[in-house]
A and B are shown apart, each in its own frame.
Chain A
Amino acid sequence: MGRMAVVEVAELTKTFVVPEREAGLRASIKALVRRKHREVHAVEEISFEIGEGEVVGFLGPNGAGKTTTLKMLSGLLYPTSGEARVLGHVPSKRERDFLRRITLVMGNRNQLQWDLPALDSFELNRAIYRIRRSDFTPLRDELIGLLDVGDLVRKPVRNLSLGERMKVEIVGSLLHRPQVLFLDEPTIGLDVTMQKRIRSFVADYNRRYGATVLLTSHYMADVVALCRRVVVIHHGRILYDGDLARLGAEFAAYKTIAVDLLDGAVSLEAYGEVVEREGDRVVLRVPKEETARVTGRLLVEQKIADLTVHDPPIEDVIELVFAEPK
């Protein structure tokens, strides 16, 4: 890694105990006498480190343990076991110096005063984070400029659209210039333009301030645009931690071969699964270990104008990773 570790996680575990009962009156009466509980292992012994200034994508399907991990790292949840350190602090102690240096942005949560313009909430954040006015005003104006929300921050928050609210929410979350950003689905529910805007803002903030970012998102475009490294979590366990580019090589069981034929009428079913055919262009899906052999056969046996081999799209790879049995 080479960089100083800002986030250090070792064997971190979170188990929730939840009440459970069958539907119906009988089960309800039974539950009065004897309540049943079940342990839900939201996060199981995960370990990873994130270096200073890194932007890491934290991927996983719903219920995989992403948000639980972020909540433990930001001090909202006490871990059941294991250790976490962020900027040298134990998050669950919720020390003031720690909370002044991090932020957690949750895409579908509103932390601003609903009935007041965002500027009033920003002012409140200044007081909460004890920011000197001489530092606060230029930073606030800089963030407002970066996200282009100058005309929005004077409107009551309740009058803003979801995307507008998200932008001012992000400004509010960064007014104390946190060094670590935990972003939980920051672009959820936003249109493509707004998603792009927020992506470029996060990249910009990371460049300007050298901030460390751990990002969860269901939109692969967010991850591809921002993260070189991804951590994939599923059923509370880490399945992969490494370069996004290598994820395909690790998990994809197939590759695609795009062939431009000189004679488009030829059938290529014998070489692999035809997933696309358009004029003289055919796209085949073949098992990864057979790619070289099939490519060789195609070049020898068919009249080909062009041939390219691709790893499957990252969305497909992620789907494959998530399909891994528990």
Chain B
Amino acid sequence: MSTQTLPEAGRVRSVVDYYLTMMRTSIVNQFQYRVAQYFYMLGMVAEPVVYLVVWTTIANESGGEINGITTGEFAAYYIVWTLVRNMNIVFGAPYWEWRIREGRMSADLLRPLHPLHNDLAWFAGSKFVLIVLWLPIAAGLTIAFEPTVDPTPLEVVVFSIAIWGAYLLRTMIQSTLGMLCFWTTRGAAIFDLYITTELLLSGRLVPLPLMPDRVETVAAFLPFQWAFFFPIDALVGDRSTAWLLGGLGMQLLWIAISFVAFRIAWRAAIKRFSAVGG
């Protein structure tokens, strides 16, 4: 007979082990539904292709460029857009409601690990599958739209970091918003408002330099562009080293701000949890 708790493996090693195991599990799960995943991704390509066709047409009619952005640069922007958009898919705010309603929250809370780790690791794992699936789509779009892109090694490095920074930032913002689900079962209206604001001020709908100056100024004080416009522009734009590193710094700042906001919201939220779903 043994009533002793099992000894614990080392902390740092365990966290790394957890992330790797969860990401592996997520990848296995994604492969389980690879065809569905592919069709989902193809569906997602429709949005940037519409933007691309519209802007290319306008640019062609305006002598080949708008505000200094050429048709080839538009193509580059929206092709990289498809990858950044996929990297930006996170455990969204409305899913906190699902998690609570379906009793998943109880299961998550019983584990000696914050649910945020679960979300981060799971979606991070799925990104590897998405990147692999994205490559042929990007190749097809490149052939069709002939993008103009000539990144420096630094831009490639910054882009590679920034897409993960964008993922982390968006996870933190969405998770903080998700805390509303502990107070209301009708958070959808607020989530919709967030999505619309993000759509306009992130560079998802229109590259930010094409927005009116006032909108650009407002966007500069909000976190959205650092999760969307910044990673894309880091790769396809022609930016200085200071701007690139400053962008990573802004990502880090907004991640820290949203992390603190999440921690405060979480502490209050968890006391309200009524485990109604199980």
Residues of chain A touching chain B, judged by Cβ–Cβ distance below 8 Å, are 16, 52-53, 71, 74-78, 94, 96-97, 99-104, 106, 108-109, 111, 113, 115-116, 120, 123-124, 126-132, 135, 139, 176-177, 179, 207-211
Contacts and interface: CB of A to CB of B under 8 A. Distances in A.
A136 to B, nearest CB: 8
**Chain B interface bracket (under 10, 10 to 19, 20 to 34, 35 or more):** 20 to 34
A116 B110 contact: no
Most buried by B among A53, A100, A104, A127: A127
A120 B28 contact: yes
A115 B32 contact: yes
A109 B107 contact: yes
B25 A124 contact: yes
B98 interface: no
A71 B7 contact: no
A99 B111 contact: yes
B146 interface: no
B62 interface: no
B274 A77 contact: yes
Given A76-B110, A128-B112, A210 B7 contact: no
Contacts, number: 109
Nearest to A77: B275
A14 to B, nearest CB: 9
A106 B102 CA distance: 13
Nearest to A123: B21
B180 to A, nearest CB: 17
Contacts of B214: none
A210 B3 contact: yes
A127 B18 contact: yes
A285 to B, nearest CB: 40
B12 to A, nearest CB: 11
B112 A129 contact: yes
Given A115-B32, A127-B14, A74 B110 contact: yes
Interface string B237-278: 000000000000000000000000000000000110111001
B6 A131 contact: yes
Contact of A209 (B2, B107, B273, B274): B2
